Amino acid sequence: MKASVYLVGAGPGDADLITLKAVKALQAADVILIDDLVNRALLQHAPQARVVEVGKRGGCQSTPQHFINRLMISLAEQGQTVVRLKGGDPFLFGRGGEEMLALRAAGIPVETVPGISSGVAVPASIGIPVTHRAYTHGVSFITGHTQDGGSPDWQALVASGTTLVIYMGMKHLAEISRGLLDAGMPADMPAAAIQNGTLQQQRQVISTLAELSMAVHQQGLESPAIIVVGEVVRLADSAMLATALAAAA
């Protein structure tokens, strides 16, 4: 490894779901800038490193991105090997692209170590494949929390016929559901919300699009969570699906 900064994906939560290359980066680190949702058990791979908390979580006070960028550059210029440890994959709603560009602009060597995305791993944890050729021809990863406060093009997403995997959408779940319904998605489209995916404290709700927001409220699910909308939700673990259908009846 020769970079000064490594943008490392920590995976979806389970400490075992991290790549060998990510572990090697942690072992080489002088400093780790760690996100809020990263499993702290991963720090066992880097007892030699100084750990700096730079957490970002919806609804909570966050470390400004420009501060994180400046800190990475400053540490690298001091000759230290920096690992920016981020939940899931750095380039999938993780601001890894922004950080990469800032480092490049400062002339800092940077390497990205991809991670297992929660958008794939969390649905899989309850038996939902985000793609299955009998149900859908693709998957769309979207965020329910945009920088400008706008909404995705729900009509285009509904027309695509793809599985929708929604990050950071719990706060606006009712609005998201209404947007999809108004765009023509069937009210009985299977949908799921999965909190703390891949961790021991994981919880999930499986319902229909029309009922998902109410079901989530009744069960008290909160962020961090992944929302999945599409026919593939029918493939969820049979016991979970049977319980969900019985509750909806």
State how far the Cα of 129 lies from the Cα of 240, in Å rounded to an integer.
15
User: What is 81-95 written as a DSSP string?
Assistant: -EEEEESB-TTSSSS
DSSP state of 105: H
Tokens representing 167? 């990050």
Give start and end residues of each alpha helix (H) in 183-237: 209-219
φ, ψ dihedrals at 136, nearest 5°: -160, 155
- Catalytic residue numbers read 35, 56, 168
**HSE-up of residue 150 (Cα within 13 Å, Cβ side):** 4
Tokens representing 140? 């769309």
DSSP state of 170: G
CB 231 within 8 A of CB 136: yes
Q: For residue 80, count other CB atoms closer than 10 A to its CB.
A: 16
